[in-house]
Structure 1
Amino acid sequence: MVGRVSRLRRWLGRIGVRARGRVPRDRLRSTSPNDVERVRRQYQESEQRFRALLESLPKVAVQGYDRDRRVIYWNEASTTLYGYTADEASGRLLEDLIIPDEMREGMIEAHRAWVEEGKEIPAEEIELEHHSGERVPVFSHHVMLGEHTDSPLMFCVDVDLSDQKRAHRDLAFVTHFDTLTHLPNRNAFETELEGALESCLRRHAGLALIYLDVDRFSEINDALGYEQGDRLLVELARRLGQEQRLTDLISRVSTDEFVLAFPGVNQREDVHRLIGKVQQALRRPFAVANGERRISAALGVSLFPENGLSARELIRNADVAKNRAKLDGPGGLQFFQQHHHDELIREQRMVEQLERAIEHRELSLHYQPQVSVASGRIENLEALLRWQPRDSSAFVSPGEFIPLAERSGLIHRLGDWVMEEACRQQAAWRRAGFTESRVDINLSGRQMLRSDTLARFEACLARHGLTPRDVGIELTENVLIEAEPQVLEDLRRLYHRGVRIAIDDFGTGYSSLSYLKHFPVTALKVDRTFMRDAARQPEDRAIMEGAIFIGHRLGLEVVAEGVESAEQLDLIREMHCDLAQGYFFYHPMPAPDIQVLLSDTAGWSASPS
């Protein structure tokens, strides 16, 4: 833009001097009438070119002023920029039109110094005044024509910078603030928090930082739409800010996450009082389309200076505590403890090791038989995932790495591997002549969130030449209750094709037998916790009996998990339970050991190879 104005200045200078500069009288006296006429014609043509040039610049405001700074020219762009028509501006003083009061004297002096001393007015970005009184940012350049004559003329060439300034303001806002709630964003919050921490350090004061994550906010967006979700977030931001002191800080750091800082908090009871205020803001229902919605949030708390000396460290540790709180269910609250961070680092390393385990073939399937309570015959095999790192002689507990895989999303890769390996092994056993076995695999809730999980299961069966009766699936009751309609429809289709579908760990989730009639299941596996105490606890015995009775009335096969003694076997035999699974019969075994077992066990037939 500066280059454009410079070129304009040179162009105006060349044309303007011819147009506005006086023709010396001695030159006119020494020329013929024809020469005079030619000079006059050139003057008029130059004048026309000059005016045409000025009017052809719709985005550039040009004003002409005489020696006394009165308007002699005002193009249409000047009207657009400053709000005065050419008639309104004509003859008026420059300083009475567009010069702000604080610039008035300086402008008059600058104009005088140019006219009388030849000191040019430098081009610069300034703010001039609109007819309405508003300020107009412009890049202003000045051209003096005929400065060495008795009638010098000054032209101001002003380029409107409003769009650029607005863009800069918008960029500055976006850089520092959240566009939805108008709260400071994470970067701005960190900067403000560093300043607050320095102040606390000087005053030997504490600070509490709360990290808030709205529970299941994605479900709100899915159910009500993003517009209603945004309205809820704006209202939540308003509530959180309502009780703030001037020194308190708040930020929206991601879609449904907020961070609040409370300087000057030293006592634990004060921290709990602040937490109570935040929780109270969440408890009141939020107005949404066609009604109200109640929400909860996981809260993580870190304290200065105990849990960190920098803004970034405090935010990170509160985030760690928040993630721990989410494991406790909706509305969880956790204060940061160092072992949380240490455990997080350990889990991250384990996730990396687990990813490598898939590639390095450190995973295997062990199989635990299910036997008939009446005959002792092996009926089915449950495939159980095992992980033995290359550099260790011990297995990593599934109770440790399976939940971690679900939280990290790695469960999908593990689930695909289990599905493929179980089908491969079952196909191998089929080829070896073991025709009466069935292998069951577990599908987790996280896996079932993927709409194509059951389709991949069917494709895997077909790929290995297996029938729906060769491999079954086990799901927890919570997964079934929370499943999307399409998942239930797919399960019904598999059910009608003959796939065995069992509810695993029955009794530990929603534990409502009334749900069973709505689900396409063929078997119940009663959780081992009831089996463990059934012989001594009447309540657990009653649950076992009730589950077996209702299961049979619904036409379901019932499996007792965790059978570890003859006493427990006698008990479930009295209850007419169908199948038993547990250490009293068999531990989980690798595939080669299972094949030996199947070959030697009565009731299993192996065809001659």
Structure 2
Amino acid sequence: MVKLSRTPFIRLVTLTYCLLALGWIFLSDNLLALFADRDAILRASSWKGGLFVLATSTLLYFALRAVPPPQAEGTASLLDRLTLRSLPGRRRGCFVCLFALAITLATLGLRQSLSGVLDGRPLLILFILPVALSALLGGLLPGLLATLGAALGVALLFLAPAGELAVDSQAERLQLYFFVLTGAALSVIIELLKRAREGLDFNRRLLDAIVSGTSDAIFVKDRDGRYVLANQAAADFVGRSLDEFIGKSDRQLFSAATAELIARHDEEVIRTGQPRTCDEQAETEQGRQLVFSVSKGALLDESGAVSGLFGIARDITERKSIELAQQEAATVFESSYEAIMVLDTARRIVRVNPAFVRITGYSAAEALGQPPLWLDAEEPDADLDTTPWTVLQEQGFWSGEVCSRRKNGERYTQLLSLSSVRDGDTVQHYIGLFSDISQLKNHQAELDRVAHYDPLTGTPNRRLLADRLEQAIARCARTTQSLAVCMLDLDGFRQVNEQHGHSAGDALLRAVANNLKTVLRTGDTLARLGGDEFALLLANINSPEDCSNILARVQAAIGTPVVVAGTPLRTSASIGVSLYPDDNVDGDTLLRHADQAMFLAKEAGKNCYHLFDPESHRKAQGHRLHLEQLRIAFERGEFVLHYQPKVDLADGRVFGVEALIRWQDPGRGLVPPGEFLPYIASVEAMERALGEWVLDTALAQLDQWLSSGLQIDVSVNISAHQLMHADFVDSLDRLLCRYPGIPRARLELEILETAAIADMPRAIAVMQRCAQLGIRFALDDFGTGYSSLTYLRKLPVDTLKIDQSFVRDMLVDPDDRAIVDGVIRLAAAFNRHVIAEGVETLEHGQALQRLGCRLAQGYGIARPMPAEQLPVWLQDWQQRAVWRSLAVS
């Protein structure tokens, strides 16, 4: 491009130089022809050559300064490369005047050197040089002054040596005037050209600022599609420097598809010569996707042929993205299944989508300009502080359900979301989105009914009851009132199903539910839990009497006869009641306690109600806990047997031991039987299992003692349940067969008097079978059961054991002494042995011996001990002279 801008100027300078050189040579040669002297010709030739070099050097200097500089393409502006700077710039006036003076002095010197040859007359050809050069270099004001000065200097050249003006002819004077006029004309012309040049420079700088400062890409291409001119914005668009951009084609800058598209557009412009504006998508080598709005036009050469094209491209990538987003938003707006409405700041609808028309029934024309009335509080007592508009103003968003009405009057439920669109702090408009959730609400209501209500009776089910119960408990916690939870089970309902069919049973359940609803208060809840089981939640109970009055009405309602298929049916209910906060537990536990009370009501004879007792329940829980601990202790083998010796006071002989159970608790140590046997006695299976273990363990120990030479009897306590079990005698026989070395008479079974008389005939039968096996019986705690003498006569017992409660106080209580004496006499009358328990002192032994009781056991003789300690105690017993003295006395 630099070549294109420099070529015309070079041509102009070359042509000017040729003309000036030819004119100079022609005139100077004619000048030399005037000289006849050889030396004068040589001097004139030297001056002519010097002036020619000076003139051509000056012309070359200013010509080179006027040539457009070959600036680097990456830094030169577009207009710098298009503008021909062919005119010289302005020079300062003082330098022009000094230059004119120098030229005049040089001419004067030339004249003086030629004065002899020219005979005192100057050559007029020399006078044009200072005038013309001064005018050319100076311009208007400085040029005129320099021209005037040069002309005056030339006039001086015309002075003869005598001082007279040497202009002889009119022609010479006209030539002098013509030189002055020519200099002035040149000054004016040069000034006009300079001012035109300055105007062009200003316009160039202005356009250059616009082109360089614009964000649009400006470029020029040749016919081959190469970029020959471009501004920095064009290079920035493709991520290149300007040096890398110039000279490249589109195929070198963009992808193949992009380059092909641009080439088609360029070809159309070059082919038609008509401008074109189009959008072009470009993908750079860096992968950037760009969209440009490009305006292109053809460049014509001197002949009018298209030599290239220019273009202005604007990056509209962001605008296209916005337009695409707007198109997508418009598509969403029009095709959304949810209704969308746009409201102005006065809450009037300004735009709706088709879904709005479909849901509401109002056309767009009917809706526009109208407020959505369903968003305003229509009820007189509506809380204006909670309307959607209030929340929207405070938070900028609101969402919820609103009840609306279609154009045809049908009511429906909207799920509505409102949001405000702001510009800074100013609300521009509101956007509302809603959908018709009527079917969803209906389906939800149906699901709620299925989930919370009994399908047969329509009453709440267990889930809804639990929810209401938790709420009622929370209310009671804030007040002093109580509530009652009642469990109802219809008596005889199974027979109704069996005799009349399940349809009759269902009809009865529905009728009972309806009858109960009529007697319950507002706020009470009737729930069917399944089968024939109902539950009542009675709120706001002020006293147990309130609950009793309600339950009386409930029983009467249940007892009302119900006619099903022509057959009158009558039923009753067993009701369990738990009162809160007397029973201060959670809802599930209240229901469970009421259920437990209901079973107690059934056991009490049905058609009644039973009030749950929290204290009894706590005792029962403690009882169950102890049983579980004992079960674990039995599995772990923590029970042990201790043995208490029994002696004959008459001779001091130890004739037997009683096996007594103890619990070796790892935490508490040795636990006496009174602390755990009552719990075991309540569970027959555990009692039998423990009894069998005691028998087996005692027999094993007896077999060991007999094997070691210790001749002694063992008595074992058995319970009534164990004795009365159908398999007792057989299991005892099998157990004895495991120890053949034990004489069966060595085993004595002790039973309580109360156990023996509970089922006397059966007890007698079992004891007689055991007697046939050689087993002896002792009647324990005799005197506490008040058995008749007839029973005593019939029972096959060998020994009566006087209860320790009588023996312990016989020394101070005459009544206890009389009972002990009576038992001893009774045993003698029925030919039974008698043994006293609870002998704690020597005085007790002496008193018993005086009354005729020889056999005794108690803490005064020996405490129960482990089996391994018995041999040591026997040795010690032989040394106890105090007790031995009773045998001597």
Q: Does 1:452 align with 2:727?
A: yes
Among candidates 676, 680, 694, match of residue 401 of structure 1: 676
1:111-126 equivalences in 2 (<5 Å)? none
Q: Report if aligned partners of 2:487, 2:536 keep a CA contact under 8 Å in 1.
A: yes
The one-character-per-residue Cα deviations of 1:521-575 (angstroms, maximum 9, x if unpaired) are 1111121111222222222222222222212211211121111122322322222
Which secondary structure state, in structure 2, belongs to the residue aligned with residue 365 of structure 1? strand
Q: Report if aligned partners of 1:560, 1:579 keep a CA contact under 8 Å in 2.
A: yes
Which secondary structure state, in structure 1, belongs to the residue aligned with residue 725 of structure 2? coil
Q: Report if aligned partners of 2:466, 2:588 keep a CA contact under 8 Å in 1.
A: no
Q: Report if aligned partners of 2:724, 2:766 keep a CA contact under 8 Å in 1.
A: no
Which secondary structure state, in structure 1, belongs to the residue aligned with residue 667 of structure 2? coil
Aligned residue number for residue 583 of structure 1: 859
Q: Report if aligned partners of 1:208, 1:262 keep a CA contact under 8 Å in 2.
A: yes
Aligned residue number for residue 464 of structure 1: 739
1:118-517 equivalences in 2 (<5 Å)? 202=475, 205-207=481-483, 246=520, 265-267=541-543, 302-317=578-593, 335-337=613-615, 341=618, 347-389=623-665, 391-392=666-667, 394-408=669-683, 409-435=685-711, 437-465=712-740, 466-483=742-759, 485-517=761-793
Which secondary structure state, in structure 2, belongs to the residue aligned with residue 552 of structure 1? helix
1:538-577 equivalences in 2 (<5 Å)? 538-577=814-853
Larger relative contact order (CA 8 Å, sep ≥ 6):
1
Which secondary structure state, in structure 2, belongs to the residue aligned with residue 530 of structure 1? helix
State the distance in 2 between where 1:258 and 1:365 align: 52
Cα distance, 1:386 vs structure 2: 1.4
Cα distance, 1:367 vs structure 2: 0.3
Q: Report if aligned partners of 1:377, 1:602 keep a CA contact under 8 Å in 2.
A: no
State the distance in 1 between where 2:584 and 2:789 align: 50
Aligned residue number for residue 282 of structure 2: none
State the distance in 2 between where 1:555 and 1:530 align: 21
Q: Report if aligned partners of 1:209, 1:303 keep a CA contact under 8 Å in 2.
A: yes
Structure 1 residues 416 and 319: alpha-carbon distance in aligned structure 2, compared to 1, 3 A threshold: farther
Cα distance, 1:599 vs structure 2: 5.3
Aligned residue number for residue 395 of structure 2: none
State the distance in 1 between where 2:860 and 2:805 align: 15
The one-character-per-residue Cα deviations of 1:3-59 (angstroms, maximum 9, x if unpaired) are xxxxxxxxxxxxxxxxxxxxxxxxxxxxxxxxxxxxxxxxxxxxxxxxxxxxxxxxx
Q: Report if aligned partners of 1:370, 1:382 keep a CA contact under 8 Å in 2.
A: yes
State the distance in 2 between where 1:520 and 1:252 align: 56
State the distance in 2 between where 1:176 and 1:452 align: 52
State the distance in 2 between where 1:593 and 1:422 align: 15
Q: Report if aligned partners of 1:488, 1:519 keep a CA contact under 8 Å in 2.
A: yes
Which secondary structure state, in structure 1, belongs to the residue aligned with residue 657 of structure 2? strand
Cα distance, 1:348 vs structure 2: 4.2
State the distance in 2 between where 1:548 and 1:416 align: 32
Which secondary structure state, in structure 1, belongs to the residue aligned with residue 634 of structure 2? helix
Among candidates 596, 601, 606, match of residue 872 of structure 2: 596
The one-character-per-residue Cα deviations of 1:493-532 (angstroms, maximum 9, x if unpaired) are 2224432211112233345444212322111112111122
Q: Report if aligned partners of 1:200, 1:264 keep a CA contact under 8 Å in 2.
A: no
Aligned residue number for residue 13 of structure 1: none
Cα distance, 1:340 vs structure 2: 5.3
Structure 1 residues 530 and 334: alpha-carbon distance in aligned structure 2, compared to 1, 3 A threshold: farther
State the distance in 2 between where 1:471 and 1:458 align: 12
- 1:554 corresponds to which letter in structure 2? F
State the distance in 1 between where 2:779 and 2:746 align: 18
State the distance in 2 between where 1:275 and 1:434 align: 71
Q: Report if aligned partners of 1:526, 1:544 keep a CA contact under 8 Å in 2.
A: yes
Cα distance, 1:198 vs structure 2: 5.2
Q: Report if aligned partners of 1:193, 1:249 keep a CA contact under 8 Å in 2.
A: no
Cα distance, 1:360 vs structure 2: 3.2
Q: Report if aligned partners of 1:301, 1:336 keep a CA contact under 8 Å in 2.
A: no
Q: Give me the identity figure in percent.
A: 34
- 1:335 corresponds to which letter in structure 2? D
Q: Report if aligned partners of 2:578, 2:594 keep a CA contact under 8 Å in 1.
A: yes
State the distance in 2 between where 1:449 and 1:250 align: 46
Q: Report if aligned partners of 1:526, 1:560 keep a CA contact under 8 Å in 2.
A: yes
1:26-45 equivalences in 2 (<5 Å)? none
Aligned residues: 373
Structure 1: gaps (5+ residues): 1-174, 178-183, 213-226, 231-240, 278-298, 326-331, 604-609
Structure 1 residues 573 and 365: alpha-carbon distance in aligned structure 2, compared to 1, 3 A threshold: same
Cα distance, 1:266 vs structure 2: 3.6
State the distance in 1 between where 2:762 and 2:467 align: 50
Normalising by structure 2, we get a TM-score of: 0.36
The one-character-per-residue Cα deviations of 1:210-269 (angstroms, maximum 9, x if unpaired) are 899xxxxxxxxxxxxxx9xx9xxxxxxxxxx99997579899999xx9999876544367
State the distance in 2 between where 1:416 and 1:509 align: 25
Name which of structure 1's ranges 591-600 and 462-471 shifts more when overlaid on structure 2.
Answer: 591-600
Q: Report if aligned partners of 1:563, 1:583 keep a CA contact under 8 Å in 2.
A: yes
Cα distance, 1:322 vs structure 2: 11
Aligned residue number for residue 801 of structure 2: 525
State the distance in 2 between where 1:492 and 1:460 align: 18
State the distance in 2 between where 1:431 and 1:571 align: 37
The one-character-per-residue Cα deviations of 1:389-420 (angstroms, maximum 9, x if unpaired) are 3x336112311221222224322221111111
Cα distance, 1:353 vs structure 2: 3.8
State the distance in 1 between where 2:765 and 2:708 align: 35
Structure 1 residues 361 and 200: alpha-carbon distance in aligned structure 2, compared to 1, 3 A threshold: closer
The one-character-per-residue Cα deviations of 1:147-184 (angstroms, maximum 9, x if unpaired) are xxxxxxxxxxxxxxxxxxxxxxxxxxxx999xxxxxx9
Cα distance, 1:196 vs structure 2: 6.6
Structure with greater Cα Rg: 2
